[in-house]
């Protein structure tokens, strides 16, 4: 058996050789294998089974052309994808992203992360991710509908309630899921739980919209309790102003935190007095209803807009990156630490660069990775699948109690596998190992397939 350092070096070299043009994918895998190769070295049961090699080679990748017509009658072409990473513990499950930056590297990283994240929830869901390089910004409702219908015209043959269950992600919310589900229902001539994040009138779960943001704050409060601290009165920086960011802000404010920033791709707003329910309603109106820019918030309330900037230079005890991948670089992490940040909980997927994570951990910042912190969204998607199968509707309160329990459970699993000798919890390591064990055990039981 090789020593772990050699194993890591060789694994990374091979990963680069196999995936030369996929930096985000390599980043996600590299972050995980630093914890898993030593873990496997210490656990003979997992040795020589090529588990990491199998997990980092998706089961299947589907890529296809999406042709659609804009309102002016022009024919437009985009590229669509579905990456089905691993279904060892349940049907493939993961969101669909619409953003011009979408490419195979980003979707492979997301599908890989999703596999471990879904495992952490304790629910029977495999990992997948999909999307298209389509930019919904500035498109009419009719254009978005035609695009969604064209995408599903191809994708529908590869998904299904027991095969692969997509949901939303960046650029895909209730409107887009509705259009995609409508087309899927027509083509398959069946009403099933094939999508989650559906409207509550047609099979969606109460609490799904809020679940990712609320879940991130629930796990944050577990971390604070672990450290005998309270979220009330703490200053919180949040990036993004989409689904995850806004509901993370809402729950943090409800629990007494002072949330001072939100952002979009144009820059960030800083409200030194902190957001409240009325101010968050204004953000929801601007970003969800009008699909407008966050800087307009400053027309309504006393706040600063910092064009083209990220919020990490504002002093606060807690940071919740909730926008996109790699939005915290090492220089941002340095600034956060210097300004007294003690907790960083990832609402987004992989918002923190690897060297920035190293700096945070070396500075003893309590860092919770996205695969643990934002798992509340897919967890409630799992609950939506259950309700669809049972033909039942649970109340918002029932769903919220289950979400809270799942987030508490994830915290416990991370603590079990990430505790260090001095009591510090390396949540990243804990999440990687706990997520891996369940998938690996299933893979061993299922044989070489
Ligand atoms: P939304 O599309 O609702 O919101 C995304 C937000 O991030 C917007 O404010 C957007 O600004 C901003 N943003 C997107 N790309 C960039 C960029 N390149 N630079 C700066 N800002 C950017 O997405 P979600 O809230 O759903 O997703 C946010 C993150 O959370 C993603 O990493 C996603 O994978 C992750 N996630 C989402 C889950 C969910 O349930 N929705 C579940 C788990 C993880 P603008 O409006 O200007 O585009």
CATH 3.40.50.720 region(s) of the chain? 209-373
pLDDT digits (tens, 9 = 90+) for 296-343: 999 999 999 999 999 999 999 999 999 999 999 999 999 999 999 999
pLDDT at position 290, please?
97
244 Cβ inside 6 Å of ligand 1: yes
If you take atom 20 of ligand 1, which residue's CA is the nearest one?
265
Residue 129 has phi, psi (to 5 degrees) of -160, 150
382 Cβ inside 6 Å of ligand 1: no
242 Cβ inside 6 Å of ligand 1: yes
Q: What is the mean pLDDT of residues 135-158?
A: 98
Which one, of 288, 330, 286, 296, lies nearest residue 312 by Cα?
330
Distance CA 213, CA 146 (A): 30
Distance CA 220, CA 343 (A): 8
pLDDT at position 1, please?
60
The residues assigned a catalytic role are: 129
Test site for ligand 1: of 97, 120, 244, most ligand atoms within 8 A of the Cβ: 244
pLDDT digits (tens, 9 = 90+) for 108-124: 999 999 999 999 999 99
352 Cβ inside 6 Å of ligand 1: no
pLDDT digits (tens, 9 = 90+) for 18-37: 999 999 999 999 999 999 99
Q: Is 42 exposed, middle or buried (0-12, 13-18, 19+ CB in 10 A)?
A: exposed
- Strand bridging mode 127-132 / 92-98: parallel
For residues 92 and 128, is the Cβ–Cβ distance under 8 A? Answer: yes
pLDDT at position 405, please?
98
Please give the distance, rounded to the nearest whole angstrom, from the Cα atom of residue 167 to the centre of ligand 1.
14
For residues 243 and 171, is the Cβ–Cβ distance under 8 A? Answer: no
Please give the distance, rounded to the nearest whole angstrom, from the Cα atom of residue 44 to the centre of ligand 1.
40
Please give the distance, rounded to the nearest whole angstrom, from the Cα atom of residue 13 to the centre of ligand 1.
31
Pick the CATH number of 209-373 from 3.40.50.720, 3.40.1160.10, 3.40.605.10, 1.20.1440.230: 3.40.50.720
Cα dist from 146 to 71, 78, 81, 203, whole Å: 10, 12, 17, 22
Please work out, in degrees rounded to the nearest 5, the angle formed at the alpha carbon of residue 206 by the alpha carbons of 201 and 207.
145
pLDDT at position 2, please?
74
pLDDT at position 74, please?
98
Which one, of 333, 292, 276, 341, lies nearest residue 315 by Cα?
341
Cα 412 to chain centroid distance, Å, stands at: 20
Quickly list DSSP for 241-266: -SHHHHHHHHHHHHTT-EEEEEEETT
Test site for ligand 1: of 101, 114, 243, most ligand atoms within 8 A of the Cβ: 243
Please give the distance, rounded to the nearest whole angstrom, from the Cα atom of residue 198 to the centre of ligand 1.
18
Q: What is the mean pLDDT of residues 344-358?
A: 98
CATH 3.40.50.10860 region(s) of the chain? 60-191
377 Cβ inside 6 Å of ligand 1: yes
CATH 3.40.50.10860 assigned to 60-191: yes
On the question of pLDDT at 288 being above 80, the answer is: yes
Average pLDDT, the chain: 98
> Taking the CB of residue 293, how many other CB atoms lie within 10 A of it?
15
> Taking the CB of residue 96, how many other CB atoms lie within 10 A of it?
30
Q: What is the mean pLDDT of residues 192-221?
A: 98
Quickly list DSSP for 325-360: TT-B-HHHHHHHHHTT--EEE-SSSS-B-HHHHHHH
pLDDT at position 195, please?
98
373 Cβ inside 6 Å of ligand 1: no
Q: What is the mean pLDDT of residues 67-80?
A: 98
Please give the distance, rounded to the nearest whole angstrom, from the Cα atom of residue 141 to the centre of ligand 1.
20
Q: What is the mean pLDDT of residues 179-194?
A: 97
pLDDT digits (tens, 9 = 90+) for 214-248: 999 999 999 999 999 999 999 999 999 999 999 99
Which one, of 385, 324, 378, 346, lies nearest residue 95 by Cα?
378
- Residue 161: CB partners within 8 Å, gap ≥ 6? 91, 192, 193, 194, 385, 388, 389
């Amino acid at each position: 058996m090789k020593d772990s350092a050699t194993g890591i070096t060789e694994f990374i070299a091979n990963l680069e050789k196999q995936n030369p043009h996929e930096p985000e994918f390599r980043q996600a895998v590299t972050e995980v294998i630093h914890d898993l190769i030593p873990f496997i070295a210490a656990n003979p049961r997992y040795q020589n089974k090529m588990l990491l090699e199998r997990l980092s080679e998706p089961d299947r990748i589907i890529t296809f052309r999406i042709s659609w017509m804009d309102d002016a009658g022009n024919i437009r072409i985009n590229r669509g994808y579905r990456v089905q990473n691993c279904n060892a513990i349940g049907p493939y499950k993961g969101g669909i992203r619409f953003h011009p930056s979408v490419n195979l590297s980003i979707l492979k990283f997301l599908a890989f992360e999703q596999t471990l994240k879904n495992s952490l929830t304790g629910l029977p869901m495999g990992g997948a991710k999909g999307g298209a390089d389509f930019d919904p910004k500035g498109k009419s409702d009719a254009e978005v509908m035609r695009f969604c219908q064209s995408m599903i015209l191809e994708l529908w043959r590869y998904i299904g309630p027991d095969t692969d269950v997509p949901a939303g992600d960046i650029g895909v919310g209730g409107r887009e899921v509705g259009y995609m589900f409508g087309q899927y229902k027509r083509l398959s001539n069946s009403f099933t739980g094939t999508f989650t994040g559906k409207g509550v009138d047609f099979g969606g779960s109460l609490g799904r919209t809020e679940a990712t943001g609320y879940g991130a704050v629930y796990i944050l409060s577990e971390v604070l309790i672990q450290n005998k601290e309270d979220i009330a009165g703490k200053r919180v920086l949040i990036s993004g102003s989409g689904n995850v960011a806004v509901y993370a802000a809402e729950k943090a404010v409800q629990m007494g935190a002072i949330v001072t920033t939100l952002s979009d791709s144009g820059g960030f707003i800083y409200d030194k007095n902190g957001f409240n329910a009325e101010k968050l309603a204004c953000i929801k109106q601007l970003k969800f209803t009008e699909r407008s820019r966050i800087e307009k918030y400053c027309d309504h309330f006393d706040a600063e807009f910092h064009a083209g900037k990220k919020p990490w230079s504002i002093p606060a005890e807690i940071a919740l990156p909730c926008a996109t991948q790699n939005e915290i670089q090492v220089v941002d992490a340095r600034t956060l630490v210097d300004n007294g940040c003690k907790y960083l909980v990832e609402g987004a997927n992989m918002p923190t660069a690897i060297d920035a994570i190293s700096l945070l951990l070396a500075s003893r910042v309590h860092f919770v990775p996205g695969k643990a912190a934002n798992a509340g969204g897919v967890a409630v998607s799992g609950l939506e699948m259950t309700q669809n199968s049972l033909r039942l509707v649970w109340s918002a309160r029932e769903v919220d109690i289950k979400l809270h329990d799942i987030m508490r459970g994830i915290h416990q699993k991370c603590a079990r596998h990430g505790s260090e000798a001095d009591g510090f919890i390396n949540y990243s390591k804990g999440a990687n190992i706990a997520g891996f064990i369940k998938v690996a055990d299933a893979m061993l039981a299922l044989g070489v397939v």
